[in-house]
């Protein structure tokens, strides 16, 4: 059964810092990995999708990497802003499961 772990569970940093969120998964037979953002009481916003054949994807200040063989992904946020405060979820598709398997998320607070 696919399992996804996110570290750290919570993170609080001053505005302007660069930061890294980590995600690991147990079954490397995935189709893709997706990073989402969830604001309190809201649905999920897709940030980045990395196909299993790709190593990284970039969107603005966000960069996500994927090392499928080791079962790891990182989300790099450059020059953090208070508006980046949210819960960040990592999810994988495949690995013996239907639909997405989610981690428990990293609750991020950017201090002004």
Give the residues lining the site for another protein (CB under 8 A): 31-32, 34, 36, 41-46, 49, 89, 91, 93-94, 97-105
Nearer to another protein, 71 or 103 (CB): 103
And the tokens for 41? 């009481």
CB of 73 to another protein, least distance (A): 15
CB of 112 to another protein, least distance (A): 26
Nearer to another protein, 46 or 70 (CB): 46
CB of 83 to another protein, least distance (A): 19
CA distance 40 to 70: 32
How many CB atoms lie under 10 A from the CB of residue 95? 18
CA distance 19 to 17: 6
CB of 78 to another protein, least distance (A): 23
And the tokens for 66? 């994927």
How many CB atoms lie under 10 A from the CB of residue 10? 10
Q: 83 in helix, strand or coil?
A: helix
Nearer to another protein, 4 or 110 (CB): 4
């Amino acid at each position: 059964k696919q399992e996804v772990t996110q570290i750290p569970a919570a993170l609080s940093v001053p505005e302007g810092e660069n930061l890294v969120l980590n995600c690991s998964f147990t079954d490397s037979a995935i189709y893709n990995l997706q990073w989402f953002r969830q604001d309190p009481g809201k649905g999920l916003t897709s940030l980045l999708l990395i196909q299993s054949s790709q190593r990284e994807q970039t969107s603005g200040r966000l960069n996500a990497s994927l090392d499928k063989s080791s079962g790891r992904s990182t989300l790099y946020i450059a020059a953090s802003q208070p508006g980046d405060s949210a819960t960040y979820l990592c999810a994988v598709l495949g690995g013996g499961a239907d639909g997405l398997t989610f981690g428990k998320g990293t609750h991020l607070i950017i201090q002004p």
